[in-house]
Amino acid sequence: MQRGHAGNRRRRSDGRLASSRRRPSAAGIGLLVALLPEIASAHVRWFVPQEQQLQLPDWSLLTHWPTPAVLGLSLALWLVLKGLERLVGTPHFPNPPLLAHMEPHATTVLALQTGISLVWFAYQRTLFVPSLTLPPSWLGWLLVVLQLVVAFTFITSLFDRAGAALLVLVFLLGFALFPPEAMLEQLLYVGIAIAIFVLGVTIPPARVARRLLPLARYERQAVSALRVLTGCSLVIVAFSEKLLNPNLSPAFLQEYPHFNVLRSLFGWSWMTDRLFGDLAGVVEATIGLLLISGVLTRVVILAMWVPFNLTVPLLPPIELLGHLPIFGIMYLLLLYGSGVAPETAARRLEPALTGELEASRRRIRGEDDSRSADRGKTA
């Protein structure tokens, strides 16, 4: 009799435990909020079988629930950020003094990290990302070479603006080999090209600097173009990879099931890979729309920073190499994205016209040192 009561109590306890695993808990919801941006930042095309990497989106899914969810969440967060902007009284919030020390290197960081990424993908005979494998044709090999040329200009800062113009040409030539949706996902590279062309990376020769001075009028617009095109890229990726391509996220999560921790740790069987991928797509598209809107861009960038870095140790090294340009974009937008005027002309073009550039060249050649030594002997 006692064994029967004990058995009933055990069954009731097991039933309560099972139901508690099935029910969403506060910890589980918090973990969902924390991890959705993480998988949202992962480019699932890079980690699925090759035959699925260029799978086209199903446009009929555009009318399903994720689309209004994106619009609703974006509007809600925009209102929150707009209210915060009015509360703090500035679109440049937060504005710690530390940013002033980071600012002089903004375009250098962007150019270097983009150049390193381009070198790697050219070596892999792909265009910009792992999923765009270049064919062994004359155009494919031309794009490999052009990527290396752009990378050389960005890394060395020699002919950096010419390299930026060439990067736009590489992007346009990609449409001859890949579907439009796949190339539009790479719009961020056009933004990078515009930013580097207008802002520059190094001090040019005096005769070149005189011709480039009119670009100083478009510095703020160049940063805005980088922000908007990066936002567009994120929105397009969110829809083409996740929301309109229901097979890609499950394929990715089958290979890396630890990303769907809500099912593996909390036993939420209703949190399917497809649903988790849809929710991640909603988050990614929302981030992109907030970037496009331009409201408190520094806050949006800081919100991106953690999830975009969290995926690096959890995925193969290609995740880091592919995200290097995005990290460079986040660095630059953290400084200028809310409308701060870069004023790089004063820092890079005027020194060429005032003679500071020639003076630095003499120091590099050692001419100033020899003159100092001669003066010391004379004395």
pLDDT tens-digit series, residues 132-172: 999 999 999 999 999 999 999 999 999 999 999 999 999 99
* CA-closest candidate to residue 280, choices 251, 242, 245: 242
> What pLDDT score does 361 carry?
63
C-alpha 219/C-alpha 34 separation (Å) is 35
In a domain, 292, yes or no: no
Do 125 and 143 touch, CB atoms closer than 8 A?
no
The gap from C-alpha 30 to its chain's centroid, in whole angstroms, comes to 25
Rg for the chain, CA atoms, rounded = 26
Do 350 and 204 touch, CB atoms closer than 8 A?
no
In a domain, 235, yes or no: yes
In a domain, 247, yes or no: no
User: Angle CA(367)–CA(368)–CA(374) in degrees, nearest 5?
Assistant: 90
In a domain, 2, yes or no: no
> What pLDDT score does 188 carry?
97
> What pLDDT score does 238 carry?
92
User: Angle CA(22)–CA(24)–CA(30) in degrees, nearest 5?
Assistant: 140
Do 284 and 237 touch, CB atoms closer than 8 A?
yes
> What pLDDT score does 353 carry?
76
In a domain, 264, yes or no: no
Which residues of the chain register pLDDT less than 50? 1-6, 8-23, 26-29, 31, 372-373, 375-376, 378-379
In a domain, 211, yes or no: yes
- By three-state DSSP, how is residue 126 classified? strand
* CA-closest candidate to residue 193, choices 165, 224, 169: 165
pTM reported for the whole predicted model: 0.85
Do 198 and 214 touch, CB atoms closer than 8 A?
no
Do 224 and 176 touch, CB atoms closer than 8 A?
no
In a domain, 112, yes or no: yes
In a domain, 88, yes or no: no
The DSSP call for residue 259 is: G
Cβ-count burial of 172 within 10 angstroms (0-12 exposed, 13-18 middle, 19+ buried)? Answer: exposed
Number of domains observed in the structure of the chain? 1
Q: Which domain holds residue 130?
A: 105-240+299-357
Do 298 and 60 touch, CB atoms closer than 8 A?
no
